[in-house]
Amino acid sequence: MTSLREQYRALLTQRGLRSGLGTPEELLRRIERMAPEERQLFAGLAASIRDGTLAFPDEGLFDGLSAELLAVVERSGLPLPTPVFVGEYPHNSFNAQACAVSGGTLILVNTGLAALVHEVAKCWALSLVPFTRDDDRRVRFEEPTAELTRRRDEARSTIANAVIAYVFLGDSRLGGRITQDTTAAMGFALTRATERFVISHELGHLLAGHLDASQTNAEHGELIRKTRPQEFEADEIGALLVLRGLDPGDQVQVNLALAGPFVFFAIDHLVTRVRNEVNDIPEGLIVTDHPPSDERAAAMRRLFVESAGIGALQLAGATVSWLSAQEDDILAMVDERVR
């Protein structure tokens, strides 16, 4: 029988695309094109490619994360109705979609979504204010340098370009990227938390029986449509999967993980505003097929407060407040650039 990974590759081939993270040589060329300070962050990786010691398996963008989540499902004693493979694929929905194929289900994250989330997360990481403590333990925040202010402004501009590329061209990667620095680790952690919820949500559909092709009358290779109540149910199951994968004693891990869904909803809110308020967007490039993000976020907040306590949402609240404060400026940049 053809494996799910092979069927995923076949879907990509039909669109003239390819799977995987690229070859080691391609990765090395990307590193060599980076700015000097960014290349320094990847110096060890580049060296391991050059000397041939890098283990570079043929894996997809979400292989590691989906394996973690499927392990949580297994530990929870929840039987999956079908085998699952998670990959990236262009399907014009901000949210991930499920595809019924022979012998299982493909969970397809829209092309460029992960990159868009990562650009927002890097911009957020740049907004964090360094601080020190005095001998008497008082906190003193550092004043931003002119260079840091310039980089923050440049990051907002890059997000505007990424949103334009995502909405108009179907792939945020065409809008450029924010140069990474030592703050990148925090941005990467927030990106992974957001991706974890996106995949958990689709697993929630699967566990709840929403993706049963016999119930949805989905044909082979067709995206499976869900109802509004099913979307909220999948949010709840996905959130519980996120919680079950955490060490409740690690408050940093908990705050980061629980921020993920709210970052996703906040970016969805921004993309939806661009789609609704900016004229001349080609029809059908980005479709809205889920309940409004504000409603989903409110339901998610209630669940997390009941399950983990209000303190577990401190980072989520601060991050969403930060992104909401940027939204009008980013929308104005988008509007100006597409006129």
Q: How far apart are CA 195 and CA 118, in angstroms?
A: 10
Residues 6+ apart with CB under 8 A from 199: 62, 65, 66, 69, 86, 96, 107, 109
Average pLDDT over the chain reads 86
The pLDDT assigned to 296 comes to: 96
Prediction pTM value: 0.88
Average pLDDT over residues 296-301: 97
User: Nearest to residue 154, comparing CAs of 190, 130, 123, 125?
Assistant: 123
Specify the pLDDT at position 183.
72
Q: Tell me the two tokens of residue 318.
A: 């601060």
CB atoms near residue 54 (< 10 Å):
15
7: closest CA among 78, 122, 102, 73? 102
pLDDT at position 68 over 50? yes
Residue 174: both structure tokens together: 């065409």
Q: Provide CB contacts within 8 A for 228, sequence distance 6+.
A: 291
Give residue 217's pLDDT band: very low, low, confident or very high (50, 70, 90): very low
Secondary element (H or E) of residue 101: strand 97-101
Most confident residue range from 22-26, 139-143, 225-229, 321-325: 321-325
